[in-house]
Amino acid sequence: MTIDINCDMGEGMPNDAAIMPYISSANIACGYHAGNESIMRHTIDLCLKHTVAIGAHPGFDDKENFGRKPIQLSAEELYHLVYKQVAIIQALCKEKHTRLHHVKLHGALYNMAAKDRLISKIAAQAVKDIDPGLIFYGLSGSVTITEAKSVGLKTANEVFADRTYQPDGTLTPRSHHQALHQSTTDVVKQVAQLVKEKCVTTLTGEIISLKVDTICIHGDMPDALDFIQQISSNLFARGVQIEALS
């Protein structure tokens, strides 16, 4: 059995190089919500060194709020926001004689898309117009997956190791004091449940089923390195290999 473990990278966090050996896919910030060209190049080099699939991680042009504040854009503005960022990473990949593997929206844009068909469709179309072979990562079971499929993209249902869930399958808002798991034990337990049982226990105690193609661990968490190391060892002990989607 295999599972893809993805992590948001190139956002100026100190653990990127240390985390890289334990993941199979990296979502690289494109310079809008975080990062810059130098960081992008360095992160791509790390991916190549550790045979990690390279993804673009476009978000709102808002470094002050780390792309986590909703911004209302016109359809044209949204299309170009996504297109330009994915194109930046794709061009850097071509310079390195490698290929871009996937795209995952960031922060508020990701969450808005998960609930808004039009946002998802516009973003997915921008990705397809760059490369129809790219995989579109989105919140498991959300309209992001449905709309990306509708434009002809391959999709990956994403679940989260370090976030808590609501009964409707959405993530607990970051404004909530229990939005994030704080202990390694809770994170490892949630990953094991997701991988083996394809379900998750919500913040209110319900158990809900989820489709699981890829699992995200956030690199900006204080204990991110410990989380990913323990996840990796626990999965290997259960006979699960960490491997990028094809």
How far apart, in whole angstroms, are the C-alpha atoms of residue 193 and residue 40?
A: 33
Q: Measuring CA to CA, which residue among 13, 43, 7, 47 is closest to residue 27?
A: 7
Would you tell me how many other CB atoms lie within 10 Å of the CB of residue 15? 18
Residue 222: per-residue pLDDT: 81
Would you tell me how many other CB atoms lie within 10 Å of the CB of residue 146? 15
Residue 221: per-residue pLDDT: 82
pTM of the model: 0.96
Question: Which residues, in sequence order, are CB contacts of 49 under 8 Å at separation 6+?
Answer: 20
Q: 199-201 and 207-209: which strand pairing?
A: antiparallel
Question: Hey, what are 74's tokens?
Answer: 């016109």
Residue 238: per-residue pLDDT: 93
Q: Measuring CA to CA, which residue among 20, 40, 89 is closest to residue 232?
A: 20
Kindly give the confidence (pLDDT) of every residue in the chain, 246 residues in length, as a single tens digit, with 9 standing for 90 and above.
Answer: 999 999 999 998 999 999 999 999 999 999 999 999 999 999 999 999 999 999 999 999 999 999 999 999 999 999 999 999 999 999 999 999 999 999 999 999 999 999 999 999 999 999 999 999 999 999 999 999 999 999 999 999 999 999 999 999 999 998 999 999 999 999 999 999 999 999 999 999 999 999 999 999 998 888 899 999 999 999 999 999 999 999
How far apart, in whole angstroms, are the C-alpha atoms of residue 22 and residue 124?
A: 28
Would you tell me how many other CB atoms lie within 10 Å of the CB of residue 243? 14
Domains in the chain, ordered, with CATH? Answer: 2-242 (3.20.20.370)
Q: Measuring CA to CA, which residue among 89, 90, 136, 80 is closest to residue 113?
A: 136
Residue 161: per-residue pLDDT: 97
Cα dist. 178→126, 139, 163, 198 in Å?
34, 19, 9, 22
Question: Which residues, in sequence order, are CB contacts of 202 under 8 Å at separation 6+?
Answer: 164, 165, 166, 167, 208
Residue 230: per-residue pLDDT: 96
Question: Hey, what are 224's tokens?
Answer: 């991110």
Q: H or E segment at 232?
A: helix 224-237
The size of the chain, in residues, is 246
* Amino acid identity for residue 135 in this structure: I
